[in-house]
Amino acid sequence: MSNKIIAGNWKMNPVTLKDVKATFTEIKRSVGSVRGVSVLICPPFVYLPELKRLSLGGKVEIGAQDAHFVDQGAQTGGVSAYMIRDLGIKTVIIGHSERRAGGDTDEIVNKKILTALTAGLRVILCIGEAVRDDKCHYLNTLQEQLEKDLIGFPIKLADRLIIAYEPVWAIGKNATRVETPDGFLHNKIFIRKVLAGIVGRKKALSVPVLYGGSANATNAGDFLSVGQADGLLVGRDSLNPKNFAEIIKIASKS
Ligand code: PGA
């Protein structure tokens, strides 16, 4: 059985290097000898080199929150997937709803994914609907995102793809409610079905599908067992070492 993936998305936090180091060191210590879980922390770009260094000799992997679709050049403020890879970092989140809200269309997300793969990175592709409707029209949104974001995806690189299903309405402190584990399972099956049409049935079955959106120590167990999530993408609770450690512990037991 493959490891559960517990990924922390720190977003634009913390704002001091001192807090970054303290938070990370506590997480690294708590992961210690935990088995059966792959732990990933995705800090803001500026902290990647320092955290990569601090992560050495431990079990916490460092990932990036985004990468540009151009490999290098005149892109003020941009960060290239090749720069990320050069730091020894292997994983990047692409298509997070907060980046999509900031202008990342499916076409941009698609280009970012293809560049990241060419640079040698593994991609956590975030998808999720903004509104949940009773008639399940939102499933069309998920299908459209996957099909557009993965145009030209090299099937042989399917082992470098992770999907994070994050319904936008369940993300962050303004979340109206949280997805249910049953609801997640329903969507995971749908996502795998769409993926089968893109990378083939066999490979689709091995693509991990994570849940994200107010995942925390209280609901983690249910998402991982009842919801059969292959892991979690955690925002707020990944900045709280105690809560994050609890989620990791739960994942190691499920
Ligand atoms: P949240 O964020 O856990 O704070 O809801 C999740 C995410 O946006 O990845």
Candidate from 5, 6, 9 with most ligand 1 atoms within 8 A of CB, to mutate:
9
Residue 203's pLDDT is what? 97
Is residue 150 pLDDT above 80, yes or no? yes
pLDDT at 128 > cutoff 90: yes
Residue 160: CB partners within 8 Å, gap ≥ 6?
117, 121, 122, 123
> How far apart, in whole angstroms, are the C-alpha atoms of residue 215 and residue 245?
13
* Tens of pLDDT, residues 27-67: 999 998 789 999 999 999 999 999 999 999 999 999 999 99
Model confidence pLDDT, tens digit, residues 223-244: 999 999 999 999 999 999 999 9
The alpha carbon of 243 and the centre of ligand 1 are apart by a number of angstroms equal to 14
According to the model, what pLDDT value does residue 1 have?
56
**Structure confidence at residue 171 (pLDDT):** 94
On average, the pLDDT of the chain sits at 96
The residue to mutate among 12, 126, 174, 233, having the most atoms of ligand 1 within 8 angstroms of its beta carbon, is: 233
Q: Is 227 exposed, middle or buried (0-12, 13-18, 19+ CB in 10 A)?
A: buried
Write the CB contacts of 9 (distance below 8 Å, at least 6 apart in sequence): 42, 65, 93, 96, 212, 233, 234, 235, 238
State yes or no: is 50 an active-site residue. Answer: no
Across 137-154, b (16+ Cβ under 10 Å) vs e yields ebbebbbebbeebbeebe
Q: What pLDDT is stored for residue 85 in this prediction?
A: 98
Q: Return the domain boundaries, the chain.
A: 4-253
Is 171 touching ligand 1 by the criterion CB < 6 Å? yes
pLDDT at 136: 87
96 flagged as catalytic = yes
How far is the C-alpha of 241 from the C-alpha of 246, rounded, in Å? 8
Residue nearest (by alpha carbon) to ligand 1 atom 7 = 235
Q: Is 238 in the pocket of ligand 1 (CB under 6 A)?
A: no
Band of pLDDT at residue 80, cut at 50, 70 and 90: very high
The residue from 61, 68, 96, 98 that is catalytic is 96
Handedness of CA 26, 23, 109, 72 (dihedral sign): negative
| 8 CB within 6 A, ligand 1 | no
Going from the C-alpha of 93 to that of each of 49, 62, 201, the distances in angstroms are 17, 11, 24
Q: Tell me the per-residue pLDDT of 184-207, one tens digit each, with 9 for 90 and over.
A: 999 999 999 999 999 999 999 999
Q: How far is the CA of 29 from the centre of ligand 1 (A)?
A: 23
- Least Cα distance to 231 among 15, 45, 40 occurs for 40
For residue 79, the cross-strand partners are none
Q: What is the pLDDT of residue 2?
A: 77
Return the percentage of the chain with pLDDT > 70, whole number: 100
What is the predicted pLDDT for the residue at 46? 98
**Which residue bears the tokens 């903004």?**
130
Vertex 60, ends 80 and 211: CA angle to 5°?
A: 80
Active-site entry in 61, 98, 129, 166: 166
Cα(73) to centroid of ligand 1, in Å? 31
Question: Which pLDDT band, with edges at 50, 70 and 90, does 153 fall under?
Answer: very high
Quote the pLDDT of residue 254: 85
- Binned at pLDDT 50, 70 and 90, residue 134 comes out as confident
The closest residue, in CA terms, to atom 3 on ligand 1 is 235
CATH of domain 4-253: 3.20.20.70
